[in-house]
Structure 1
């Protein structure tokens, strides 16, 4: 086929052309969902072709807006900021945990993540809650139990992503999953989507590479990303 792609079945009757680039990011728009208490997202023209000869958008948003990564500094001033971390934290092979079908506000236990833990992997946890994006139910997502987060850190995994608002419950108290992961200098990606496609690809034995490269903001606690996966 053109470009070296070929058609494969990745689950049931779902046939796709490989290699495939999967967008794992939510769109950035004014009024989009944010974590309770975070700055509202406002995007509006700052300059226009009609008035100034060029189009330039003005952006008002928090560092944790949309699909984003948390640096360890997010939860502790003594931990590394985003620009302290090696780029290898944000790009690499992925494994996807299928945690779909859990009731609202359910903990995701260590047993569910254990089969996918190995150093160097980007661990993606699919809750299915991206289907709730833009609704009140999005805040009722499942979350990583403290022992699950601890086992992830102990296994040497330093990048974790989830298709939900947080790896901890929303709202949260002491943020135990954040503390276990960030304390190990791991990064956390939140508000991912389309992880179901990756689960099907993984089940078909297809390798998955993920990029979670953030904006380069000096001293940042986190930043928005254009998260994508390449299914080989």
Structure 2
């Protein structure tokens, strides 16, 4: 069974505040030129995408510096659905997947926030606390995805001053990217993966990006393959 984990790329789709807007329009048409070709204008972080470590530090690896193994692997899905808006995924919440966190694992964080895609509420998503991101990296995990706009807060988080400091510093990005991990954002449709995991079925996730030279990130067609028991 193949599950599509990607949002559709469409004209005017949601983007991270300040990122380039997505513009898609016919460049050539069958009626005029004999073929259909779309013209695309979008940012490297548009839609479902991966961040390379270079995204937050010029000294860190770009997409093409990373091994292809970073973008494919067995998945562990962390279920944190039901969290309030702008709340952290704390270190204690990792206990349910702790035995699965190891090098080569693709950790997917299921917040359920993809249901808010295209609405103002999407900006107030849950996020990884700095300590949580550090523990993930310390376990050897080098691929992390989330069904939200970012692993860090986008809007001011509800919480204490420490949470606010993490928001301004991209603390989760820095913990993960500093360990040369890749981060997938704007995933969707993680519920079938949680069901498969609960049933003991193996899950393999593919997050291969466009091959953009020297890039900070790129859109992906994220998919999961669910196997039998």
Matched, 1:178 2:164: no
**2:196 — aligned with what?**
201
Q: Residues 26-37 of structure 1: matches in 2 within 5 Å?
A: 26-37=7-18
Provide the secondary structure at the position in 2 that maps to 1:209: strand
Q: Residues 1-232 of structure 1: matches in 2 within 5 Å?
A: 20-114=1-95, 115=98, 116-171=100-155, 172-232=167-227
In structure 2, list runs of 5 or more residues that go unmatched: 156-166
Of stretches 166-175 and 151-160 in structure 1, the one that deviates more from structure 2 is 166-175
Compute the TM-score of the two structures, normalised by the length of structure 1.
0.91
* Distance (whole Å) between structure 2 residues aligned to residue 119 and residue 70 of structure 1: 18
- Say what the alpha-carbon RMSD is for the aligned residues: 0.7
* Distance (whole Å) between structure 1 residues aligned to residue 189 and residue 17 of structure 2: 23
Provide the secondary structure at the position in 2 that maps to 1:150: helix
* Distance (whole Å) between structure 1 residues aligned to residue 134 and residue 196 of structure 2: 27
Of stretches 205-214 and 117-126 in structure 1, the one that deviates more from structure 2 is 117-126
**2:159 — aligned with what?**
none
Compute the TM-score of the two structures, normalised by the length of structure 2.
0.92
In structure 1, list runs of 5 or more residues that go unmatched: 1-19
Q: CA deviation at 1:119?
A: 1.7
- Deviation string 1:121-178 (CA, Å, 9 cap, x unpaired) is 0000000000000000000000000000000000000000000000000044110000
- For these two proteins, the number of residue pairs brought into alignment is 213
* Distance (whole Å) between structure 1 residues aligned to residue 125 and residue 9 of structure 2: 21
Deviating 4+ runs (over 3 angstroms): none
- Deviation string 1:40-59 (CA, Å, 9 cap, x unpaired) is 00000000011111100000
